Amino acid sequence: MHDLYQELIIDHGTHPRRFGPLPEHTHHERGHNPLCGDDLTLYLKVEDGVIEKVRFEGSGCAISMASASLMAERLEGLSVDEAKKLFEKVHSLLSGTPVEGLGKIEALSGVCKYPMRVKCATLSWHALMGALEQSSEATEK
């Protein structure tokens, strides 16, 4: 089995889940890596502190797309605090610390051996943190 390109990564990378717009989003953030061109926008619908719906759009390498897809699947139903804790765990995983209980996301563990590609995997997760730091667009409107 390939370290980096596990079947699950290829699957999510080429057929990303939760892909598309989310007009009713309350938070959104763009993740852009100008050096490699990975570019995605993450949309969240947060209600009463719970992430109810997640979608993302954009283009990029299989690692960035798979990471965003796996993240989007996992986030739905989590509280904002749980999502922030999940970010910390994934951050550790991608830095080379074994982390348990991440389920499918653990398929990304091989990325830490490829320092040039870590930024691809973290792109959507940083967009998540950026989105959550903003105040709800719903209350602003």
Partner 1 sequence: MSKYRKDFPCYEHYPNLAYLDSAASSQKVACVLEAMTKTYTERYANVHRGIYHLSDIATGDFEAARVTVGKYFNANPDQIIFVRGATEAINLVATSFTQEFLQEGDEVIISRMEHHANIVPWYRLCHEKKAKLVVIECDAKGVLDMDAYRNAFNPKTKMVALTHISNVLGTINPAKEMIAIAKSHQVPILIDGAQAAAHIPVDISDLDPDFYTASAHKMYGPTGVGFLYVKKEHLKGMSPYQSGGNMIASVSFDDITYLEGPMRFEAGTPHIAGSIGFARACEYMMDVGMSYIQSHEQALLMYLQEQIETVDGLEVFGQAPNKIGIVSFAMKGVHPHDIASILDEDEVAVRAGHHCAMPLVKSMNQPALTRISLGLNNNERDIDQCIKSLKKVREIFSA
Residues forming the site for partner 1 (CB under 8 A): 2, 4-5, 7, 10, 13-14, 35-39, 59-63, 114, 116-117, 120
Residues 6+ apart with CB under 8 A from 121: 63, 64, 67, 94, 108, 111
Q: Which is nearer to partner 1, 46 or 63 (CB)?
A: 63
CB of 78 to partner 1, least distance (A): 28
Largest CA distance in the chain: 49
CB of 12 to partner 1, least distance (A): 13
Phi-psi region of 8 (alpha: psi -120 to 50; beta: other; left: phi over 0): alpha
Q: Which is nearer to partner 1, 7 or 133 (CB)?
A: 7
Stated as kind and residue range, the H or E segment containing 55 is strand 50-59
Angle (CA) 122-102-92 rounded to 5° is 45
CB of 66 to partner 1, least distance (A): 10
Q: Which is nearer to partner 1, 59 or 97 (CB)?
A: 59
Q: Which is nearer to partner 1, 36 or 80 (CB)?
A: 36
